[in-house]
């Protein structure tokens, strides 16, 4: 049995209306029947564009949102059915690392206080001295100096703060860490360092990860299996290499064609699928295949019959009525508008492999994706000064909104998934372009 198994998980949010009486007038089908397995010691990468339900799924696993239906079986126990008191015990073993490292750390607490409160709540360490020793050990593991203990979140760079977020999860000795967009707020150069750190920690501590990202390039190198999510459900799942070598679902092909290749010549020649339109609203998802309103190969059947995620061999699963025909080149495009050209992802994958083989071994295991924007992370990622001088100027105003997580449970902690993301539309544009 896998360490974590999701079976038919649904999270539907009621849409209420009315001044005097709160009437439920519909539902947001944020997660609508996801089944997946995460093996112990492995990494499952979950990708999909903004609003497809990735965070809601992660929060559903930890019961930070109510699960409408389905099972979340962790180490043989269905968490979906556990009373809240018992669930608290399990939360220590399932931790979450959030996208916004600053927003998820209380600006009024120093690092020792942030890291020890969860330990105290879960009875780890007999006193503060013992907890401090453990925290020092974990800080060293995540590459932060001991003098970080007495400092405050705003004194660190973005990359360092994410290391603190990882340390906060690690001090509770979890089995599973759900990393929700762990690097998307960081500069590209720092992203690679944090991803590599996660990999090293997984090896040394035997951790199991569910890594959520909107960017296939981020999960590629860390994931054993990748699941591609579209509008609340999985459309494709495969071992990482197989997915990159031959994506079968039109949506995955489109996502893949947006991953830049680290060679300008190959990049220039590369063909792309440019999806038209935004993700439809999860409050009113299209009938049939949910991707049919954007799929370049959509047929009549697609608008009425919902395809089921089916294993087409070697653990490669796809939810498309016409995956075989598309792969064989037997299906005509039905939606030429907006498509520059249809990508041959296999060709790109092999060209990419050639480029990687030819290039000298990069310092990081994650390929450069784009020129790193000039930002604080690149400049301040070096460990904090020995004298404890602030590493960055931080953003105290933003930090003000952060909220302490008193029992160390990976609940809101200021990283409020319910709050609208200020740059959601910008991210969406970047993801589908
Ligand atoms: N508490 C809530 N009440 C109602 N709708 C919600 C709630 N939380 C999330 N949603 C909706 O559910 C859908 C999925 O949201 P979610 O945050 O899981 O997406 P995501 O894939 O993580 O996106 P992103 O990449 O932008 O983080 C969105 O349409 C969102 O507006
Ligand atoms: S089922 Fe139809 S609409 Fe859906 S991905 Fe396949 S071809 Fe496209
Ligand atoms: Mg999210």
Q: Pick from 162, 225, 153: which is nearest to 195 by CA?
A: 162
Q: Give the binding-site residues of ligand 2, using a 6 Å CB cut-off.
A: 249-250, 289, 291-292, 295, 297-299, 302, 307, 320-322
386 token code pair: 């020995």
Mutate to test the pocket of ligand 1, among 9, 10, 12, 13 (most ligand atoms within 8 A of CB): 13
Nearest residue by C-alpha to atom 5 in ligand 2: 320
Coil/strand/helix, residue 264: helix
Closest-lying ligand 2 atom to the alpha carbon of residue 295: 8
Predicted pLDDT at 336: 60
Report whether 136 contacts 146 (CB < 8 A).
yes
Least distant ligand from the CA of 214:
1
CA–CA gap between residue 90 and residue 74 (Å, rounded):
9
HSE, side-chain direction, 13 A CA sphere, residue 431: 24
Closest-lying ligand 2 atom to the alpha carbon of residue 299: 2
- CA 116 to centroid of ligand 1, rounded, Å: 31
- Within 181-311, strands assigned E span 208-213, 225-230, 233-239, 310-311
Q: For the chain, 433 residues long, give each residue's pLDDT as a single digit of tens.
A: 899 999 999 999 999 887 777 888 899 999 999 999 999 999 999 999 999 999 999 999 999 999 999 999 999 999 999 998 899 889 999 999 998 878 889 999 999 999 999 999 999 999 999 999 999 999 999 999 989 999 999 999 999 999 999 999 999 999 999 999 999 888 888 999 999 999 999 999 999 999 999 888 889 889 999 999 999 999 999 999 999 989 999 999 988 887 776 777 766 666 677 777 788 999 999 999 999 999 999 999 999 999 999 999 999 999 999 999 999 999 988 876 454 444 444 444 444 444 444 444 433 333 333 333 333 444 344 444 333 333 333 333 333 333 334 344 444 443 333 333 333 333 333 333 2
Closest-lying ligand 1 atom to the alpha carbon of residue 59: 18
335 token code pair: 């939606």
Question: Which residues are bridge partners to 178 per DSSP?
Answer: 96, 210
Predicted pLDDT at 271: 62
CA–CA gap between residue 137 and residue 146 (Å, rounded):
9
178 token code pair: 């759900």
Report whether 115 contacts 171 (CB < 8 A).
yes
Nearest residue by C-alpha to atom 6 in ligand 2: 320
Mutate to test the pocket of ligand 1, among 13, 14, 17, 30 (most ligand atoms within 8 A of CB): 30
- CA 258 to centroid of ligand 2, rounded, Å: 19
Q: What Å distances lie between residue 115 and 141, 380, 390, CA to CA?
A: 14, 22, 19
Nearest residue by C-alpha to atom 8 in ligand 1: 418
Question: Which residues are bridge partners to 74 per DSSP?
Answer: 4, 77
Nearest residue by C-alpha to atom 9 in ligand 1: 418
CA–CA gap between residue 64 and residue 411 (Å, rounded):
6
209 token code pair: 């990860």
- Please give the domain boundaries of the chain with CATH numbers for all domains: 4-256+309-319 (3.40.50.300), 382-432 (no CATH)
Helix, strand, coil percentages (3-state) for the chain, rounded to 5, are 35, 15, 50
Ranges of H-type helices in 107-222: 111-121, 128-141, 158-170, 188-205, 216-220
- CA 250 to centroid of ligand 2, rounded, Å: 7
CA–CA gap between residue 359 and residue 188 (Å, rounded):
19
Predicted pLDDT at 345: 43
Q: Give the binding-site residues of ligand 1, using a 6 Å CB cut-off.
A: 13, 28, 30, 48, 50-56, 214, 282, 417-418, 421, 424
Burial group, residue 314, by CB count within 10 angstroms (0-12, 13-18, 19+):
exposed
How many C-beta neighbours within 10 Å does residue 52 have?
A: 26
Q: What is the maximal distance between C-alpha atoms in the chain?
A: 68
Q: Any idea which residue has 């759900």 for tokens? A: 178
Q: What is the 3-state secondary structure (H, E, C) of 201-223?
A: HHHHHCCEEEEEECCHHHHHCCC
Mutate to test the pocket of ligand 2, among 294, 299, 324, 328 (most ligand atoms within 8 A of CB): 299
Report whether 394 contacts 102 (CB < 8 A).
yes
């Amino acid at each position: 049995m896998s360490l974590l198994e999701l079976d038919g998980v649904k999270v539907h949010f009621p849409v209420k209306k009315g001044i005097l009486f709160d009437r439920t007038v519909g539902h947001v089908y944020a997660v609508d029947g996801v089944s997946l397995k995460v093996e112990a010691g492995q990494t499952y990468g979950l990708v999909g564009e903004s609003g497809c339900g990735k965070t809601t799924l992660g929060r559903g696993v930890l019961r930070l949102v109510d699960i409408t239906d389905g099972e979340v079986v962790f180490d043989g126990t269905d968490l979906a059915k556990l009373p809240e008191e018992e669930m608290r015990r399990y939360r220590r073993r399932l931790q979450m690392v959030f996208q916004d490292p600053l927003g998820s750390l209380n600006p009024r607490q120093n690092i020792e206080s942030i890291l020890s409160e969860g330990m105290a709540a879960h009875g780890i360490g007999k006193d503060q001295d013992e907890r401090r020793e453990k925290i020092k050990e974990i800080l060293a593991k995540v590459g932060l100096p001991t003098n970080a203990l007495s400092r405050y979140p705003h004194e660190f760079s973005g990359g360092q703060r994410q290391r603190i977020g990882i340390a906060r999860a690690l001090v509770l000795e979890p089995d599973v860490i759900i990393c929700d967009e762990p690097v998307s707020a960081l500069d590209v150069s720092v992203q690679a360092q944090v991803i590599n750190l996660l990999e090293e920690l997984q090896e040394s501590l035997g951790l199991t990860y569910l890594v959520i990202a909107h960017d296939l390039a981020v999960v590629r190198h860390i994931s054993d299996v990748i699941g591609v999510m579209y509008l609340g459900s999985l459309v494709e799942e495969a071992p990482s290499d197989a997915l990159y070598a031959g994506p079968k679902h039109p949506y995955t092909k489109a996502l893949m064609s947006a991953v830049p290749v680290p060679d300008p010549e190959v990049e220039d020649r590369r063909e792309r699928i440019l999806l038209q339109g935004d993700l439809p609203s999860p409050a009113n998802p299209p009938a049939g295949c949910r991707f049919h309103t954007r799929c370049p190969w959509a047929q009549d059947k697609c608008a009425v019959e919902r395809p089921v995620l089916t294993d087409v061999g070697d653990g490669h699963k796809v939810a498309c009525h016409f995956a075989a025909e598309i792969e064989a080149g037997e299906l005509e495009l039905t939606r030429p508008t907006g498509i520059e050209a249809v990508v041959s992802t296999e060709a790109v994958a092999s060209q990419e492999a050639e480029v990687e083989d030819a290039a000298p071994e990069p310092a990081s295991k994650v390929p450069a994706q784009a020129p790193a924007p000039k930002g604080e992370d690149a400049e301040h990622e070096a460990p904090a000064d020995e004298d404890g001088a602030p590493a960055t100027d931080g953003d105290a105003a933003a930090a003000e909104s952060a909220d302490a997580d008193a029992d160390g449970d990976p609940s809101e902690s200021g990283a409020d998934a319910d709050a609208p993301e200020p740059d959601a539309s910008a991210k969406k544009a970047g993801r589908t372009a």
